[in-house]
Amino acid sequence: MAGRKAIRTTLPPVTLVLGGARSGKSTYAEKLVEGMGPGVYLATAEAGDGEMTERIRHHQQRRGGRWTTVEEPLDLAGALGQHAAPEHAVLVDCLTLWLSNVMGAERDVDAETDALAKCLSGLPGPVVLVANEVGLGIVPETKLGRLFRDHAGRLNQTIARIAPRVVFVAAGLPLMLKDITE
């Protein structure tokens, strides 16, 4: 895997990797999981148009064949419960797209967030979750946009409270926000 060096590390039970669009957060998260060996890639994106299809293809191509990919746009807690194991890490990419799917399906965002938080507290293996930090930009023009931004901010805070490790990635560079080693 030329040009992609895994970050050798022991992962805590939950790691949250935050960043903006094209910040390098997914690549960083992938390197964390690859440091433990082959992992499970839990993909939440749905290819609703050509541009998203291309983004998904780019991510798949970058990952190569070492990953077991599971596509789950809505039942994230269920998929984590099914695929988490002590012998490998699970990468969730990404929470923000999952939130968009939950809102689009008109599910109760607070209930889904609570279910995810409870699930994360009892998994048998490490999980790395990727999420966009959407609250650093301009205020969205529409009510739906503002609601999404607010839900995303609360979701990130909820997961950050649970996660022993939280990393913010900007310009491909990680900044450790929280690292509680036990």
Q: Which residues are catalytic?
A: 59
**Residue 39 in tokens:** 């992992």
CB neighbourhood size of 133 (10 A): 19
Q: Would you list the DSSP string of the chain?
A: -TT------PPPSEEEEEE-TTSSHHHHHHHHHHTTSS-EEEE-----SHHHHHHHHHHHHHHTTSSEEEE-SS-HHHHHHHH-BTTB-EEEE-HHHHHHHHHHTT--HHHHHHHHHHHHTT-SS-EEEEEE--TTSPPPSSHHHHHHHHHHHHHHHHHHHH-SEEEEEETTEEEEEEE---
